[in-house]
Amino acid sequence: MPWTMNDYPASFQSLENVIRKKALEIANKMIQEGYEENRAIPIAISQAKEWKKNATEKEIENFSSHGSVKPSEGISSARPELMDHALHVVKHEEGWAVQTEKTKRASEVKETKQEAVERAKEISANKGTSVVIHRKDGTIQDVLKLQ
pLDDT digits (tens, 9 = 90+) for 46-89: 999 988 888 888 888 887 777 666 654 444 444 444 556 788 99
Over 50: is that where the pLDDT of 147 sits? Answer: yes
Based on the domain organization, do 37 and 82 belong to the same domain?
no
Question: Which of residues 123 and 139 earns the better pLDDT score?
Answer: 139
Residue 50 CA to residue 41 CA, distance in Å, equals 14
Alpha helix segments (H runs only) across the chain: 17-32, 37-54, 57-66, 113-127
The answer to whether residues 131 and 124 touch, using CB atoms and an 8 Å cutoff, is yes
Contacts of 51 (CB under 8 A, 6+ apart): 22
User: Does 116 have pLDDT greater than 90?
Assistant: yes
pTM beyond 0.85: the answer is: no
Residues 84 and 126 placed together within one structural domain of the fold: yes
Same domain, 59 and 83: no
Residues 86 and 140 placed together within one structural domain of the fold:
yes
What integer pLDDT is reported at residue 70 of this predicted model? Answer: 60
Same domain, yes or no, for 53 and 28? Answer: yes
In the DSSP assignment, the letter for residue 71 is P
Distance CA 35, CA 41 (A): 10
The per-residue pLDDT for range 3-35, each reduced to its tens digit, is 888 888 899 999 999 999 999 988 888 887 778
Q: Check whether residue 87 and residue 140 sit in a common domain.
A: yes
* Contact assessment for residue 130 and residue 124, using Cβ atoms and an 8 Å cutoff: yes
In a domain, residue 135? The reply is yes
Same domain, 45 and 92: no
Instruction: Give me the domain span that covers residue 134.
Output: 76-145
Question: What are the distances in angstroms from CA 144 to CA 35, 40, 70, 80, 106?
Answer: 20, 23, 31, 22, 19
Please tell me the total count of domains within the chain: 2
**136 and 80 share one domain:** yes
